[in-house]
Structure formats: structure tokens, C-alpha cells
A and B are shown apart, each in its own frame.
Chain A
Amino acid sequence: MNQQQFFIQAVIYLAAAVICVPLAKKVGLGSVLGYLLAGVIIGPAVLGIAGHGGEDLMHYAEFGVVMMLFVIGLELEPALLWRLRVAILGLGGLQMVITTALIMTACIFFGFSLKTSLAIGLILSLSSTAIVLQSFTEKGLMKAEAGQSAFSVLLFQDIAVIPILAIFPLLAVFPIVADPETHSGTLTADQPGWVQALIVLASVVAIIIGGRYIVRYFFRLLAKTGQREIFTAGALLLVVAVTVLMMKVGLSPALGTFLAGVVLADSEYRHELESDIEPFKGLLLGLFFVAVGVSIDFTIVQQTPLLIFSLVGTLMLLKGGVLFLLGKIFRLKHDQNLLFAFGLSQVGEFAFVLLSSSVKGGVLPKGEVDIITVVVAISMVFTPILLLINEKFFQPATGTRQAADKVMDTVDERNPVIIAGFGRFGNIVGRFLKANGVDSTVLEIDSDRVDLLRRFGYKVYYGDATRYDLLHSAGAADARLLIVAIGDPEKALELVDTAKKHFPNLRLLVRAYDRPDTFKFMDAGMLHIYRETIDTSLRMGIDALQLLGRRKYQAHRAARLFLRHDEKALKQLSAVRDDSKAYITTAREFIDELEQMIKSDINEGKKFQNDFGWDEASMIKEVNENGHGKQPS
């Protein structure tokens, strides 16, 4: 591709995305379907201006999936991973084994050899991480039961790709197609088994140790340069380097970057890395979806439409059925289970990789691969549509509301208080108010929680509280207080902005996560800001002093004084915080702030000796000096 061609292609792809995605979102189809449709439209089926198929592009675009897993890793704490272990191994493992077995049986029935059938079964048992996660995130379902289960299954599949790639050569029954590129291959290909295992292990360890110790030092250096783009370059370098390493040792790049992400999840650079990678990830992922759309070979569809669509239908029914049954066994709630089953019923992007390598490796014949490729792509296109059907027709019947527009007509009461977010913070506020005879309207984005609370008779509405229409239908125009108890600081800030703009009648009480968060709320003009941990920490401090032998009341007084002082200091810090000259990372900012706080504690130290009214020292001094006993006692 020469330069001019490249730019023309870029214009076509970008224009298609820019036109189709907003349109799709406007009519409520979601961005994934928008991208896919854009691909179909510029592809050979409609306009035919997408150049030579999507396949070339797909290789680059698959990198978007790799980046997505890096970002997912960043957002994932090891603790969560541990909590999901049953779902990952149990649900994920069973899904793959059962689905593979069923598809394999069907293939054998239709006269394929055992090896070929197994290969097809393995390929088709995978689901699309890209489509599912993107769609679920867009709908705010990742934290829900369905989201967590889907994530677990996808994670298992991503890991499973490695052994699948490893056993594929054993399944070869057709002549190997010579391809010089693929034979530049991996470092491990010609090594004996134990060396391969050792190399794989070593590279995983390298990522963990590198991520823990070296990468942080590296990013600290980059941060000190004060060049934002160098930090971005560093972030990209990290992801690409891990990808290269993984490919060289024959592991899945997606898994490698996922691991790197998890390792860096608790580092101080987490948010920087996330926001740096995010736009690349988004673009490449979009490109990937477009490429899927382009790659659908409509000549095959035209030749054998019945075969193709009955294959797609059977396949998705089978996959969805297995998922639904497993969901039942793993006790997903009905609505969550439907979402889970519909969501994962397509075949994933790894299938493309496996299919092309299986042609080259002589695992599958070219003709079948072409048909399967089309089936896979169409199943991907169907997923957002299925989710939409599920949302419109199935979910309303199950009781839990998935979309705010359905809530609108059901919010029939006008409470003085609206609580946004009924998690571990909001629920205490809400229960306390209820105990004192104040009813509140609750907006909650976690549909499981919505279910539970409804059973206890709370008026809870599912949905994203930052949406104007939901706020409006919850009675924000007539309520007096809006309690912002959402855990996600950015969402909370968004909600504050919306509420200020559209509902000036509301008084806002906001939960703040940390200091920077508090400052943002201060900037937004909030008067009632509640830092999540300050009161509890001080109560702990009081008890600590007491256990050390101090009187409880004095400890309590000291804590009150400390709080007052801390709040004063907070206001001062808020005023000067933008003066910091260098670009400093969140963690350094925190250290700086802590330093200033402690300095100010020391400066004000004498004031911490409070309550002179109960201190007799000065009276005793005066009596001893003058001796005329004018003290009150």
C-alpha cells in the first residue's frame, strides 16, 4: 500500500465510522453494531470501497483487543480475580468443554474426521471478548452478575487459546500451506517441550517482576521529563513490547498484556496508563469491528444463504443454550442469565486467528474455513441485535429494568430525597433516613442490588443516574436533596454537573473518594462534601489513643479538633494545588499533599493542646505568683 492509498483508505474507514456510529447510537443500537454496519457498507457487499478485504487490516485491528485486555487488567485487582476463580474455572471451563464436545459431535455426524471436528469445535466454542465487553461496558453491565460471569468465561477462553494454538499442529490432516511469514515463527517452535515450558514460564515471571519493579522506575523517569507524549509513548511501548515478547514465545499477546495490566493495577501510574491507552484501544477496537464487517464474504452468503444462516442460527442457539444451562447451574438470576447467554452466543475474534493459522497449518481445508469465517462474522453482527431484542422483549418480562426509558412511566412517587448509588455508602444514608421517616427514591446501576432492594420494599430504579431523563423521571424537579453516593468519582462529578445544570432546586450532598476528588467537588461549587474515610479513620484513631491509655473524652475532643484543622487545611490546599510546577503523577501529588498536611499539623501543633478551659496550669501559676486566690474553685 503506498502512502496515498493508505490515506484514502483511512478516510474511507474513518468517515464510515464517524457517520455510522453516531447514527447507530442515536437509534439505540450501540456503537459495536454501528462499526459493524459501517464495515458492511464500505465492504464488497454494498459500496466495495474498502480496498482488498478487511483481513490485512484485521491483523492490525486485533491489536485493539490486546490493548483492551491491558486496560481490563489495569482495572482489575488481583483480589477480584481471586474472587472470580470459581466462575473462571468452573463456568469458563465447562462452557468450553461442553460447547466443543457438542460442536465436535455435530461435525462428526456430518462426516468430518475426528481431528477436524475437534479443531472446529475448539474454534467455535470461543466467544468475542471485544464485542461482549464493549457492549456490556456501554450498557453499564460489567459490574452486574451477568457482566462478571461473561468476563470470567471470556478470560478463561483467552487463556485457553494458548493450549489450543499449541495442539493445533497435532490436528493437521491436510497439506501444510507454505507461508514464509508464519515460519519466521516463535523462539520456542524448534525446542523440546521442557525448554518451551521453561521459556513460557520465564516470560510470565519476567512480566510480573518487570511490572512490579522495573516498569515503575521507568515511568517515574518518564513522568519527570514533563513531556506528556513521552509518557504516552512509554505506555504504548510497554504494550507493544509485551505483545512482541508473547508472540515470540508463542503465548497469546492478549493474555500477556492482560497480565501486565493486572501487575500494574495497584501502581500509582494506573490512571495515567489507562487514559493514555484508552483512545488507541477505542480506535483500534472500532477499526476491528469495521474490519469484521468488511470481511464478510457476501458472495458465499449469496451462493448458499440457507446453509450460512442455518449454520449461524444453530450455532448461536447451541452456544446460547449451553451458556443458559450453565448459568442455571451456577445460579444466575433469570434476567442475568438471559443477558449472559445472549451476550456470549457469538463466535469470537480469536476464531479468525485460529482459522487462518489452521489453513496454513493444514488443520482445516480452505473451503470450509471460508464458510466458517463468514458464519463467525455474521454471528458477531447478530450479537448486538440479540442483546437489543433481549433488552426490548425478554428483560421487561423478567422484572428487572435494564433501560432507563422503561423506568420513566413507573416512577410514580415524589420523595424529597433522591439517592444516587445504593452501595455500601448510599445504603447507610438511605436506611438512616428511612428509619427517621424520610423516604427516598433510589437510583442504582447494579441490577442485582435493584432486585434485592425491591424485595425489601425499597423504591429502587435501575439506571445511570447521570442521565438527565432518569433524574427527571425520578422526580428531581420536585425533590429537595440529591445525595450523590456513587462510588465512581467521575460518574459522581458528571452527575453533579447534570444536576446543577438542570435542577437548580436540588441541594447536593456528595460522597468524595479522596482529596483530588474533593477538590473537584469544591471547584464544582459543592458545599456538602463527605470524604469516605475521614470519620471512620478518626474514630479508629480515638480508639487507638484510648487503648494507649488516654481518656476517651479527651481523645474524642482531639479528633474533633483534628478534623476541623484538616478541613481548614483542605481548603488552603485546594487554593494552591494548581501551583505545582512539574507534571507530577497522582501518587507524587498525594505524597506532596501529605507532606504539606504534616507540616501544617506541626505548625499548628500548639493548638492541638486544646481545651484550656479544663487546664489548671495557668491558674496554679497565677496563684503561686500572686497568691490572692481569685480562681473560681
Chain B
Amino acid sequence: MAKILVLFAHPALEKSRVHSRMLYHIRKLKDLTINDLYEEYPDFDVDVEREQRLLLQHDVIIWQHPFYWYSAPALLKQWIDLVLEHGWAYGATGNALRGKKIFNALSLGGSKYAYDQTGLNRIPIRQYLAPFEQTARLCKMQYLAPYIIDGTHKLTNETIEVLAHQYAGLIKRIQENLLTSVPIENVLYLNDLLGDVQTHQTL
């Protein structure tokens, strides 16, 4: 079974309804490590050795975070800057991460409908995530599509519970390699591969 590493970045988890439930549900899964970056490195003092060791021990990496200013919270960027070293993660001799799978799992306060050409944010979410995707590619990893929980400001606790549970189910299927039957490259969002849980909000 594939080993999952969740790189979780949230500076104010105590105020989050969505991520706390997501963590609650995935915590029950086997072969899954949650690396709570803001808890681990409150002063941005990322331990590169430890992080690289963790990466090597896992097959699938998830950047789980809220969507801040069209990107991730600052510590996740710090993590990328420091951990993905030249000669280790990328470059002629940097092959440590080759073949691993990686994707973003993020929450948005607003609705995804704001992310189209006529919307307030003009550009699709997937395009905003291009730097992450390219980072993964440069490190010779396979970037899967992002998983998104949107409109969190308006979600009821019951819906959050359902979505968080769905997230855990998604990870479990990835772990068991059940997603390969679908042409994953053709999917823009991992949500598209899931059942009709989110029928009320299609992408």
C-alpha cells in the first residue's frame, strides 16, 4: 500500500472548521503521516534533513492547505524553498523524488464560480496552482490534479463532515491505487473522479 505524507500548512488551525475535520478523518487511515508544519516549525525554522527523510519514506505527498492570496500559506513556500534542494530534488543529479505522486488539497472560502473568465478572480484555480505543478514536474514527480473544498464560508457543519469524509475516501483510493483505472491526466480536479457527493457544486 502506498505511503501518504500530508504536508499540512495552516497558521490558524484552531479557527478552521474544514481542515480540522479533514485531519480528523484522515488521521484514521493507515500508512499516513501528517506533518503539521506550523506546529513543527512555528518560527519557520524548517529542518531540511528531517523533511527530506520524511519525503523519502513516503510515496504520495499531499500539500494540504487553505488557499491564501491564490497560493499557499507562507510556511509551505518556505518549505519548498528549503527542502527541495538542487542536486537532491532537481537538477542533473537530483533524483530523490523521482516517480512520487503529489497534489494540493485545498480549501477556498469563496465559491469556485468566482474562478472563471467572467468571475471576480478571472483565472481557473488549476492555473493559479501552476507553480506547484511545475515544482513537482521539475522534481520529476507526477502531479495529480488538486482536490478542492470550496465555498467554505457558507458550508454547514454537516456538509463539511461529508466532504471531509470524502477526502479521506479519496486518499484511501489513491493508496490502494484504485484511481489508475481512470485517465488521471485528463482530469482537472480530483473531485471529478469522485461520486456525486458534490452534485450541488460542480466544477
Residues of A participating in the B interface, judged by any CB pair closer than 8 Å: 557, 560, 564, 610-614, 618-619, 622, 626, 630-632
Contact = CB atoms under 8 A, between A and B. Distances in A.
B47 interface: yes
B162 interface: no
Contact of B91 (A557, A610, A622): A622
Given A611-B82, A613-B85, A630 B91 contact: yes
Contacts of A610: 48
Contacts of A619: 86, 91
B45 interface: yes
B92 interface: yes
A622 B86 CA distance: 10
Contact of A622 (B47, B92, B138): B92
A612 B81 contact: no
Given A619-B91, A630-B91, A631-B91, A612 B86 contact: yes
A564 B43 CA distance: 13
Contact of B81 (A560, A564, A613, A631): A613
Given A631-B86, A632-B138, A557 B92 contact: no
Interface string B18-56: 000000000000000000000000010101100000000
Given A612-B86, A630-B138, A560 B43 contact: yes
B83 interface: yes
Contacts of B87: 618, 622
Nearest to A615: B86
A612 B85 contact: yes
A614 B138 contact: no
Contacts of B134: 632
A587 B86 CA distance: 46
B90 interface: yes
B132 to A, nearest CB: 12
A560 B91 CA distance: 28
A614 B91 contact: no
B84 interface: yes
B75 to A, nearest CB: 14
A632 B81 CA distance: 11
Nearest to B134: A632
Give the contact-size bracket for chain B. 10 to 19
A613 B138 contact: no
Given A612-B48, A612-B85, A618-B86, 10 more contacts: A564-B47, A613-B83, A613-B85, A614-B82, A619-B91, A622-B86, A622-B87, A622-B92, A630-B138, A632-B135
Given A630-B138, A632-B138, A613 B91 contact: no
Nearest to B92: A622
A323 B43 CA distance: 56
Contact of B90 (A611, A612, A630): A630
Nearest to A560: B45
Contacts of A557: 45
B133 to A, nearest CB: 13
A557 B92 CA distance: 28
8 contacts: A557-B45, A560-B45, A611-B82, A613-B48, A613-B84, A614-B82, A619-B86, A622-B92
Interface string B82-103: 1111110011100000000000
A472 B91 CA distance: 62
Nearest to B83: A613
Contacts of B138: 630, 632
B91 A618 contact: yes
Interface string B153-192: 0000000000000000000000000000000000000000
A612 B45 CA distance: 14
B5 to A, nearest CB: 18
B70 to A, nearest CB: 19
A613 B43 CA distance: 17
Contacts of B83: 613
Nearest to B87: A618
A557 B44 CA distance: 9
